[in-house]
Amino acid sequence: MKQTVYVKRGGLLPLVGAVLLTAIPSPAAEDVVILRQADMKAMAAAAKTISGMFKDPASYKAAEFRWAADTIRDRSGGVLSGHFASEAASPQSKAKPNIIEERDRFDRIANDLRDYAVALDAAAEKNPGSMPASMRMKPGEAMGGGPIGTQVRNERELSAMPAEHAFHLLLQTCTTCHARFRME
């Protein structure tokens, strides 16, 4: 009895191995998935840093704030888009295949993210000391942009709004893209 099981296993294993081998993507495709996931994690850490400073303005340090904003700036826009240039058939990836079909929309969201990060960098450059009230949102300030509001497309408007507002729009940009282009 035991022997039959052995024989069956011996017959099946090479087959399973062959199927696994063909499912393994090329090393290049794997690398880009690892790279873009690492970039996303770095952006998440940067967003957390900035969020912490808005929650506790006394902890604001312009250099750290800028570094975090630049971390997002340098991983968004064309850099982000470039990491999703072709469908990476990696089982590790949570990217949806519709990125290729909806290229323009995906790229636009990636560019929006960059615009907001640039605005945050500029705000911290302008305010090297403590965080001024002008960087904070006023109570009850209307939230523009994002999936429901009107997208802020004007650069002047973006630099005129409080940095905290730009930061909220930045976070909405992450959410908007994930809702459409990332698997649960």
List residues near ligand HEC by CB under 6 A.
33, 36-37, 40-41, 43-44, 47, 72, 80, 93-95, 106, 109-110, 113, 173-174, 177-178, 181-182
The number of beta carbons lying within 10 Å of the beta carbon of residue 29 is 15
Q: Closest distance between ligand HEC and the C-beta of residue 75, in Å?
A: 8
Query: Residue 182: helix, strand or coil by DSSP?
Result: strand
Q: Closest distance between ligand HEC and the C-beta of residue 1, in Å?
A: 45
Question: Which lies closer to ligand HEC via its Cβ, residue 25 or residue 132?
Answer: 25
Q: Closest distance between ligand HEC and the C-beta of residue 25, in Å?
A: 12
> Residue 76: which residues within 8 A CB-CB, separation 6 or more?
43, 110, 111, 113, 114, 117
Q: Name the strand (E) or helix (H) holding 49.
A: helix 27-55
Residue 167 burial (C-beta neighbours within 10 Å; 0-12, 13-18, 19+): buried
Question: Which lies closer to ligand HEC via its Cβ, residue 80 or residue 161?
Answer: 80
Question: Which lies closer to ligand HEC via its Cβ, residue 31 or residue 155?
Answer: 31
Q: Closest distance between ligand HEC and the C-beta of residue 113, in Å?
A: 4
